Chains A and B, each alone.
Chain A
Amino acid sequence: DAGVIQSPRHEVTEMGQEVTLRCKPISGHNSLFWYRQTMMRGLELLIYFNNNVPIDDSGMPEDRFSAKMPNASFSTLKIQPSEPRDSAVYFCASSYDQGALTGQYFGPGTRLTVT
């Protein structure tokens, strides 16, 4: 299995631009998570889906952030408009049954820099 696939791996954009991050979870997993990681705040859960349905989006910072999961094999995290404080590494993770027993499998991350 290729593991969780994220694209792009690096993104540099100017403030105000729209940014779309993509994730392909591991086949057969029914839970998908989006995280943000910074030096200051560590790892933060933004939102997670179970069976393609958003379950908890309380970690989404504000309306500029939105996430979708149109099918079991694809999810996007969109930031519009982007701001310099959004610069971070964004991880996607997937698991079976919310990872209660098996843990979550993380992708390699997308390093976002907003100038």
Chain B
Amino acid sequence: KNQVEQSPQSLIILEGKNCTLQCNYTVSPFSNLRWYKQDTGRGPVSLTIMTFSENTKSNGRYTATLDADTKQSSLHITASQLSDSASYICVVSGNNRLAFGKGNQVVVIP
């Protein structure tokens, strides 16, 4: 079983709307959690990194939350734009290992 599960696998949203992506993990011990954005045909780009003590971190219209007790994280996209169409990958680090989710595929339509 994958140590990092992301949901929904894919979603379509209207431009200007908000959406929330979920990441549940079982990695233990926990070091940090990262959200990456991957545009089609490109390498992933880091959006946020959160350690155990951080609950929320923002990067522009992207806001990540972390609940280390329940081992859950979310990535909220505010006022989506067409350029937000991408795959969003959750990566959890612990015990010098990295565990990857398979990504949330987001499509923003006008």
Contacts and interface: CB of A to CB of B under 8 A. Distances in A.
A100 B102 contact: no
17 contacts: A4-B43, A41-B102, A42-B100, A42-B101, A42-B102, A44-B100, A91-B44, A93-B43, A100-B32, A100-B93, A101-B49, A103-B46, A103-B49, A104-B46, A105-B46, A106-B43, A106-B44
Nearest to A40: B102
Nearest to A95: B46
- Chain B contact residues: over half helix, strand or loop, or mixed? strand
Contacts, number: 41
Contacts of A105: 46
A45 interface: yes
B39 to A, nearest CB: 11
A105 to B, nearest CB: 8
A102 B49 CA distance: 7
| Size band of the interface chain A makes with B | 20 to 34
Interface residues of B, number: 20
Interface in A5-49: 41-45
A43 B45 CA distance: 13
Interface of B: 31-32, 34, 36, 42-46, 49, 89, 91, 93, 96-98, 100-103
A72 B12 CA distance: 42
A109 B98 CA distance: 19
B103 A42 contact: yes
Contacts of B91: 43
